[in-house]
Amino acid sequence: MVKKRLISVIYLLVFLGILGVGIGKMWGKGREAKASFFAMDTYISLTLYGKDGEKAVLEAQEKMTELEGLWSATHKESIVYALNHSGGAPVILDDETKELLRFAVSMARETEGALEPTIYPVLLSWGFTTGENRIPDREEIQDLLKYVGYDNIRIHGKEALLPSGTQLDFGAVAKGYAGDMLVELLRERGITSGLLDLGGNIQAIGSKPDGSSWRIGLRDPFGDGYLGVIEASDLAVVTSGNYERFFVGEDGNVYGHIIDPVTGCPADSGLASVTVIAKEGKVCDALSTALFVMGLEKASDYWREHRDFDMILITEDGKIYLTEGAKSRFSLNNSYEEYKWELIGER
């Protein structure tokens, strides 16, 4: 009798134990860890699901702050600042900065200079870094353009060298590059589901905890709402446009923060926004800026030649052009259903 009871108790304990582990696992899986903070000149929000999410999210925030310290062109302690004020002397780079610099130069080459990591002197003259915007005159721009050109950048071993007057700006690629580094770090910490929002650069880790795709809003470049939703898992979705950082000049024109390196003036290519969807945040970030400079025709040709990413282009006249892969993920919100769209296909 006693023995029977003992066996029942053991069964019960084993059952409770299994139940406990199950609940613990579910709890761990579904638990959300969040962090919102300001870095790299933008609002960042990280949402993670998983067992050690709280610890991981803090580590990610720390990493982001560390990278900002390295790559900000305005922080006087940053490596970019050191390069920009080196007066032509070589500067020793840490591995991460060297990789970012190599990446920026390779994308500049690939996009034939539409991405131009040495655009900084021109950007400064338009006042985009200080917020004290102005319209520089032609001569001033032509003078500054002499220092612009990714071919000026020399990398030897651990050192980089910029000629005096040439200045770097990682504004178009740093957030994407940092996003990839955070994704890698978080995966190492066991995070299998999460959404990183780095000022509109979205990077999805895995799917939502329930297994469905993340739903990422595509901003209406002409208003405050969302044009539609992009479904994505394990992907980066990055948008560049002139609707967030711009100023209205004394002449009444709108001047955006993406500069056409050929003219030294804000890109005026007929596009209102460019969204790039691909595995890596750095590729999305570099391309969204470069394709914005190129405009519809050149950007479409670039896609035809590469095809290793998807994109959604919205023109100033309110039409959507998108690749097949982007279309399969994208749905327009009800209030925008009258929007015209067209597939980017063969020529």
Q: Is 277 among the residues that bind ligand ADP (CB under 6 A)? A: no
Pick 49 or 150: Cβ nearer Mg ion: 150
User: Considering only residues 288-347, where is the footprint of Mg ion by CB under 5 A?
Assistant: 288-289
- CA atoms of 213 and 122, how far apart (whole Å): 41
Query: How many Cβ atoms from other residues are within 10 Å of residue 81's Cβ?
Result: 18
282 touches which of Mg ion, ligand ADP, none (CB within 5 to 8 A by kind)?
Answer: none
3-state SS assignment for residue 250:
coil
- CA atoms of 100 and 141, how far apart (whole Å): 27
Pick 167 or 240: Cβ nearer Mg ion: 240
H or E segment at 141?
A: helix 138-145
Match 């609940």 to its residue by tokens: 23
Match 């994109």 to its residue by tokens: 311
Q: CB nearest ligand ADP: which residue?
A: 171
Q: Which positions ≥6 away from 114 have C-beta within 8 Å?
A: 261, 289, 290, 291, 293, 294, 298
Take residue 47 and report the two structure tokens written for it. 């949402």
203 touches which of ligand ADP, Mg ion, none (CB within 5 to 8 A by kind)?
Answer: none
Among 56, 78, 121, 257, binds ligand ADP (CB under 6 A): 257
Site size with ligand ADP, rule: CB under 6 A: 22
DSSP 15-62: HHHHHHHHHHHHHHHH-EEEEEEEETTEEEEEEEESTTHHHHHHHHHH
Directed axis angle between helix 174-188 and helix 53-71, to 10°?
150
Spatial CA neighbour of 336 closest among 220, 239, 243: 220
218 touches which of Mg ion, ligand ADP, none (CB within 5 to 8 A by kind)?
Answer: none
- CA atoms of 27 and 19, how far apart (whole Å): 12
The DSSP bridge partners found for residue 260 are 265
Spatial CA neighbour of 168 closest among 85, 58, 93, 254: 85
Pick 131 or 211: Cβ nearer ligand ADP: 131
Part of the chain binding ligand ADP (CB under 6 A), chosen from 54-62, 160-168, 253-261, 302-310: 253-261
Among 78, 289, 300, 315, binds ligand ADP (CB under 6 A): 289
User: x/- contact string, 95-134, with ligand ADP (CB under 6 A)?
Assistant: --------------------xxx-x---x----x------
258 touches which of ligand ADP, Mg ion, none (CB within 5 to 8 A by kind)?
Answer: ligand ADP
- CA atoms of 336 and 99, how far apart (whole Å): 41
Among 285, 296, 299, 303, binds Mg ion (CB under 5 A): 285
User: x/- contact string, 150-179, with ligand ADP (CB under 6 A)?
Assistant: -------------------x-xx-------
Q: Taking the complex as a whole, how short is the minimal distance between the CB of residue 117 and ligand ADP, in angstroms?
A: 6
Part of the chain binding ligand ADP (CB under 6 A), chosen from 82-90, 154-162, 212-220, 239-247: 239-247
Among 179, 261, 281, 295, binds ligand ADP (CB under 6 A): 261
Q: Taking the complex as a whole, how short is the minimal distance between the CB of residue 271 and Mg ion, in angstroms?
A: 13
**List of residues contacting Mg ion (CB under 5 A):** 172, 285, 288-289
**List of residues contacting ligand ADP (CB under 6 A):** 115-117, 119, 123, 128, 169, 171-172, 199-200, 240, 244-245, 257-259, 261, 285, 288-289, 293
